[in-house]
Amino acid sequence: MTDEQLIADVRAWIAANPAPAAADAGHSDFLRSPPDIIDWREKVHAAGYAVPSWPVRFGGLGLTPRQSLLVEQEFKKAGLPGSGVDRTSIPANILMQFGTDEARAKLLDRFVTGASSFCLLYSEPGAGSDLASVRTRADRDGDHYVVNGQKVWTSSAMDAEYGLLLCRTDWDVPKHAGLSFLLCPMKQEGIEIRPIHQITGERHFNEVFIDDAKVPAENLLAQEGAGWKVMQAALGYERLIMGEGATDRHDGGDAGLALIALAKANGKIDDPVIRRDIAQLIAWRRLNDLNAARAKTAGDGQGAALMSLGKLAMSRVLHGDARVRRDILGARSLLDGPAFPDARELNYHALFSYINSIGGGTDQIQRNIIGERILGLPREVETDRAIPFRQSMAVAGSAG
């Protein structure tokens, strides 16, 4: 099928299938979609347009990444949700790649359509930047795993039906080799969730305490001990999403035009420094878009590193956006509250931008990945990489 034929088919399908009045273009992929949107997403999925790059047996069309993007763009032009899930849904993509047939049959379509919500159970109080050091344990007991441990900085845990859980199933091999990845049901006894108060005044993040929670063995992704491979794939999707601006402006508008409008409204549009800085931010955004397109077509090894480049670049864009807004508003940027909406928006986004610099791996981690995998610089020394994790814990304990 040519690009022209594909675009014509998508447009004809959209014209023949009226969408619900309330689209969820700004809806978080972590949360469950409203019922009417789920119905719409099911129709999109049945047509193959939700995950067009996936194999046909999983509901896709087997298209190339480039043609899949054409499908997604047509839905975006029409202001419709439902397409592009093969890029933006972490649990759907991970389950499709690594899940058992039983788990796929039960959950894959629900993740594609937004009928099931999720959270990411990765970081721990003692394992943030070094995720391979997680100590949440999962012990096999017949047809299920018994899980004990603690997670932190978990977005949307209060509403999630499932958690993508990185845990340890073997303590007597090196830390990366003893990890496994489970789809953990969240609505059960043994899981306690405590919200964390953020600097923005919101409570998206949570602490999660897990005490003898049970996970069906069929919810194991890949094999025991292959958790680090699954984790890297999941982080790749998360970094792609964040690199494309998931933590960007919430109003859905063009950020460059918003800065220009703000400068005009405050009499700063003729200031040569302000004009230069706005132009620089627009150029950075465009460059990041091109890099994201390159990452989508690169091989697995290089694509993941390019996603890190995009995520790091988006951090620079978001912090730069806040700085230019501050320069435009001047002393008024110190104000806040409903009476000063421009200043309030600036202050919110200045604080919120740190999510992009921390979530999905900090900016410093992205620089390490870029240095090692793109620039070919020497790896940092890891003295515990080749010894059993139990032994590394003992060494750390004695050093403390």
What value does the mean pLDDT of the chain take?
Answer: 89
SS (H, E, C) 4-38: HHHHHHHHHHHHHCCCCCCCCCCCCCCCCCCHHHH
SS (H, E, C) 336-367: CCCCCHHHHHHHHHHHHCHHHHHCCCCHHHHH
pLDDT value at residue 277: 97
Q: Which CATH superfamily is domain 244-374 in?
A: Butyryl-CoA Dehydrogenase, subunit A, domain 3 (1.20.140.10)
Q: Which CATH superfamily is domain 118-224 in?
A: Butyryl-CoA Dehydrogenase, subunit A, domain 2 (2.40.110.10)
pLDDT digit string, tens, across residues 17-55: 988 765 555 455 667 788 888 999 999 999 999 999 999
pLDDT digit string, tens, across residues 314-360: 899 999 999 999 999 999 999 988 999 999 999 988 988 888 888 87
pLDDT digit string, tens, across residues 84-111: 999 889 999 999 999 999 999 999 999 9
| pTM for the whole structure | 0.84
Instruction: Indicate the domain borders of the chain.
Output: 3-88, 118-224, 244-374
What b/e sequence results for 214-232 when a residue is b if at least 16 CB atoms lie within 10 Å of its CB, and e otherwise? ebbbbbbbbebebbbbbbe
Pairing of strands 162-168, 118-121: parallel
Angle, vertex CA 65, rays to CA 250 and CA 286, nearest 5: 45
147 or 365, higher pLDDT? 147
Rounded CA gap, 78 and 72, in Å?
Answer: 10
Rounded CA gap, 41 and 29, in Å?
Answer: 13
Which of 72, 74, 124, 238 is the catalytic position?
238
pLDDT digit string, tens, across residues 236-292: 888 888 777 656 654 556 888 999 999 999 999 999 999 999 999 999 999 888 887
* Three-class DSSP category at 318: helix
337 or 162, higher pLDDT? 162
pLDDT value at residue 204: 80
238 contacts 358 by C-beta, under 8 angstroms: no
211 or 21, higher pLDDT? 211
Rounded CA gap, 385 and 388, in Å?
Answer: 8
187 or 294, higher pLDDT? 187
pLDDT digit string, tens, across residues 213-223: 999 999 999 99
Tell me the Cα Rg of the chain: 22
pLDDT value at residue 249: 53
pLDDT band at 400 (very low <50, low <70, confident <90, very high): very low
What b/e sequence results for 104-131 when a residue is b if at least 16 CB atoms lie within 10 Å of its CB, and e otherwise? bebbbbbbbbbbbbbbbbbbbeebbeeb
Catalytic site includes residue 238: yes
The CATH code belonging to domain 3-88 is 1.10.540
198 or 319, higher pLDDT? 319
270: Cβ–Cβ under 8 A, 6 or more apart, which residues? none
